[in-house]
Amino acid sequence: MKKDNIDKLFERLQDEFDFEEPQIGHEQRFLEKLNPAQGTIAMPVKKRQLWKPLSIAASIALVCVLGLGYFNSTPTIKEQVVEIAPEVSDTEFYFVNLIEEQIQELKEAKSPENEKLVEDTMVQLQKLASDYQTLERELVNGGDSKIIMNAMIINFQTRIDLLREVMDNIENIKNLKTYNDENITI
């Protein structure tokens, strides 16, 4: 019964509905009329916040870039060498530790008398390290692995021999200086 009354009401008012949009600024004029002096409080107009959708889009873009970087990253030469010859990493670990110990001893033995010798030794060690990196690249690029791995070991041994020889020379310089100081008479 109520439904019939509502239907009749809509049929009667059908041609009188207002479909027009209010003029631009209608809401602002309405809020100005609700003056706080009259005891009413005007509600502030909410500005559309654009930073939320932009921050979500930026987050998604960041995750995509990081994901692409992770999945498309090429392995380093060291990782490729370990894939080709896993025993190289163990050998390299042993030799590198031994060389580092000897370099530390060399630096501790450095004095004004042997400073040039130590500096020249460090330059030679850098050249040998560069040669070793070249050997790693050759191994990764498909060279004869047995020959290259043998050359890598020889490179390490050459570095160790160089450090031992320099340490012997430094010891000889110290002994010579001590001997000369003892033989000088005043």
Q: Mean pLDDT over residues 105-129, rounded?
A: 90
User: What is the spatial distance between Cα 88 and Cα 94, in angstroms, rounded to a whole number?
Assistant: 10
Q: Where are the domains of the chain?
A: 77-183
Flag whether pLDDT at 105 surpasses 60.
yes
pLDDT digits (tens, 9 = 90+) for 40-89: 555 555 666 777 888 888 888 888 888 777 776 666 777 777 777 777 77
- Least reliable range by pLDDT among 36-45, 125-134, 139-148: 36-45
- Say how many C-beta atoms besides its own lie within 10 A of residue 152's C-beta: 22
According to the model, what pLDDT value does residue 159 have? 93
Q: Over the stretch 3-25, which tens digit does the pLDDT of each residue have?
A: 678 888 777 777 777 777 777 88
- The residue with tokens 């530790």 is 97
DSSP state of 1: -
